């Protein structure tokens, strides 16, 4: 199989490394050579000091389309131009592997339908959870049942930042910089810290899990950029650990889906997922609870998933892309839950107000105005915020 690579950045360089350095192993497992013949890159990031002399460097997508490559690996990122590239490649009958969740979360329905018509396979294992196998399991190994719930830590950068803030009291800005240097963060890290990256991932995973089209922009999202390290240390006194959680549950009609920072009890399995690791629970009607854990970001970690997609396509060719025809309406979870809250201005009147209004609460740090509130709806929380003024409010996973 002849392969072209678009983008030679963090993940692209890892993919080139596996294709070139593991050529014998890949050929043995696939039954034919997986040959990297073309690279299209704006700049060459070659941290692994690879010998690229056998590869043709090209400057435009038209050269790739006109070439004899069978499969194109897109690791450029971005939405509009890559969407146009993917359409051009599918029309030309080239199989595609990508890690580009930003573009796919918006356009996968159209691309999958077009690819099925042209008998082109799209591999996108690396779009969610970096090196963790999760797309393939949802497409294949767990497809004998209705999936009822998906929940997890879906972003390496924010998990890295929250871990360092929680365990070391590190400053948000410093750890974000470290995550960027390690190649975890997106080209625009706003996508990570404001939760958009996790929003795209929970959208792609839920689409497969429930076999429904989802409008990614409808998914309620909150990020971690406003998280105060003080809340992490106050909540730790009660054994609570913060994680950015993406979750979805389908009741057959409505998809309850969201991304937001939540506190978890320290003995919860997800509380032990540290640094750039991710973990995802998938609950199926027959299988019950399954959990997938591993590296959520990074050069070689993500490249592992990308190359394995390419190998599957080389072995099995076109097997059909999941292309649900029905769309689903989405909303955030509406049931009552427990919350950690902190008042903007701590005062004893607040306690009185909460008591009068019939709320069950526990004071964690009276001087700092931090409480645990039990069994509160989002609507009730908004009314508490209006009357008392909250500087922080985070749901607690049961
Ligand atoms: N990093 C990670 O851990 C993960 C990344 N991903 C996804 O993988 C994709 C790649 O990410 P990553 O490797 O981190 O990003 P990088 O920014 O490191 O690499 C992207 C590369 O593409 C190049 N590029 C951009 N536009 C063009 C163009 N028009 N033509 C040719 N080359 C171009 C960039 O060049 P230049 O340097 O000149 O801008 C850069 O070298 C993204 O979709 C990302 O969301 C998915 C999972 C994990
Ligand atoms: N920026 C992303 C990279 C992988 O998808 C993350 O931090 O998880």
Distance 100 CA to ligand 1 centre (A): 9
Kindly report, residue by residue over 86-133, the tens digit of the pLDDT.
999 999 999 999 999 999 999 999 999 999 999 999 999 999 999 999
Residues flagged as binding site: 6-13, 101, 186
Ligand 1 contact, 186 CB (< 6 A): yes
Q: 2-131 and 135-295+325-331: same fold?
A: no
pLDDT on residue 351? 81
pLDDT in tens, 340-374: 999 999 888 888 888 888 999 999 998 999 999 99
Query: The pTM is what?
Result: 0.97
Q: Looking at the predicted structure, is the pLDDT value of residue 73 above 80?
A: yes
pLDDT, one tens digit per residue, over 34-48 is: 999 999 999 888 999
Q: Given pLDDT bands bounded at 50, 70 and 90, which one contains residue 187?
A: confident
Spacing, Cα 302 to ligand 2 middle (Å): 9
Pairing of strands 337-343, 329-331: unpaired
Q: What is the DSSP letter of 119?
A: T
pLDDT for residue 320: 98
Residue ranges at the known binding site for NADP(+): 6-13
Respond yes or no: is residue 238 known to be catalytic: no
Residues 6+ apart with CB under 8 A from 141: none
What is the full DSSP assignment across 351-369?
Answer: HHHHHHTT-EEEEEETTTT
User: How large is the ipTM?
Assistant: 0.99
* pLDDT tops 90 at residue 160: yes
Tell me if residue 17 falls in helix, strand or coil: helix
The fraction of the chain above a pLDDT of 90, given in percent, is: 92
- Give the DSSP letter of residue 271: G
Calpha distance 273→295 (Å, rounded)? 10
- Which CATH code fits 337-396? 3.30.70.100
Binding site listing for NADPH = 101
Cβ-based neighbour number of residue 217 at 10 Å: 12
Q: Are 90 and 121 in contact (CB under 8 A)?
A: no
Residue, of 159 and 356, whose pLDDT is higher: 159
- For residue 191, the 8-state DSSP code is H
Pocket test for ligand 1, best of 99, 200, 204 (most atoms within 8 A of CB): 99
pLDDT more than 70, % of the chain: 100
189 lines ligand 1 (CB under 6 A): no
Q: Of the candidates 368, 397, 354, which has an alpha carbon nearest to the alpha carbon of residue 234?
A: 368
How far is C-alpha 356 from the chain's CA centre?
Answer: 42
Question: What 3-state DSSP class applies to 41?
Answer: coil
pLDDT in the model for residue 312: 98
Predicted local distance difference test score (pLDDT) of residue 207? 98
| CATH number corresponding to 135-295+325-331 | 3.30.360.10
**For residues 194-221, average pLDDT:** 98
304 pLDDT band, cuts 50/70/90, is very high
Average pLDDT, the chain: 96
Q: Is the pLDDT of residue 335 over 90?
A: no
Alpha-carbon span 55 to 37, nearest angstrom = 5
3-state secondary structure (DSSP) of residue 161: helix
Q: Binning pLDDT at 50, 70 and 90, where does residue 298 land?
A: very high
Q: Does domain 2-131 bear CATH number 3.40.50.1000? A: no
Q: Which of 101, 185, 246 gets mutated to test ligand 2 (max ligand atoms within 8 A of its CB)?
A: 185
Nearest-CA residue for ligand 2 atom 3 is: 297
pLDDT, residue 276, reads 98
> Could you tell me the residue ranges of all domains in the chain?
2-131, 135-295+325-331, 337-396
């Amino acid at each position: 199989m002849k392969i072209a690579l678009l983008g030679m950045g963090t993940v692209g360089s890892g993919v080139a490394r596996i294709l070139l350095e593991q050529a014998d192993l890949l050929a043995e497992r696939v039954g034919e050579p997986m040959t990297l013949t073309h690279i299209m890159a704006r700049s060459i990031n070659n941290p692994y000091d690879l010998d690229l002399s056998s590869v043709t460097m090209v400057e435009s997508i038209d050269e790739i389309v006109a070439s004899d490559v069978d499969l194109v690996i897109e690791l450029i990122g971005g939405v509009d131009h890559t969407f146009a590239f993917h359409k051009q490649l599918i029309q030309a009958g080239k199989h595609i592997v990508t890690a580009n969740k930003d573009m796919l979360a918006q356009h996968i329905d159209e691309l999958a339908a077009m690819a099925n018509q042209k008998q082109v396979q799209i591999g996108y294992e690396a779009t969610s959870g970096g090196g963790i196998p999760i797309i393939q399991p949802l497409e294949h190994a767990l497809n004998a049942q209705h999936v009822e719930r998906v929940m997890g830590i879906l972003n390496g950068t924010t998990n890295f930042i929250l871990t360092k803030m929680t365990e070391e009291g590190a400053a948000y800005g410093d750890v974000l910089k470290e995550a960027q240097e390690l190649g975890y963060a997106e080209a625009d890290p706003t996508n990570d810290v404001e939760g958009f990256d996790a929003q795209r991932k929970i959208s792609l995973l839920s689409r497969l899990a429930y076999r429904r089209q989802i409008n990614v922009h409808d998914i309620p999202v909150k990020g971690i950029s406003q998280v105060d390290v003080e809340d992490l240390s106050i909540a730790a006194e009660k054994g609570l650990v913060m994680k950015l959680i993406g979750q979805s549950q389908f009741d057959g009609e409505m998809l309850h889906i969201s991304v937001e920072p939540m506190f978890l009890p320290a003995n919860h399995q997800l509380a032990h997922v540290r640094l750039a690791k991710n973990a995802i629970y998938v609950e199926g009607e027959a299988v019950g609870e399954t959990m997938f854990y591993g590296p959520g970001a990074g050069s070689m970690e993500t490249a592992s998933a990308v190359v394995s997609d390419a190998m599957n396509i080389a072995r099995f060719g076109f097997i059909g892309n999941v292309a649900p025809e029905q769309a689903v309406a989405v909303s955030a979870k509406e049931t009552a839950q427990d919350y950690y809250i902190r008042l903007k201005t701590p005062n004893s009147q607040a306690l009185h107000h909460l008591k009068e209004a019939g709320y069950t609460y526990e004071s964690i740090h009276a001087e700092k105005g931090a409480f645990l509130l039990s069994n509160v709806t989002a609507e009730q929380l908004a009314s508490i915020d209006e009357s008392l003024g909250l500087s922080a409010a985070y749901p607690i996973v049961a």
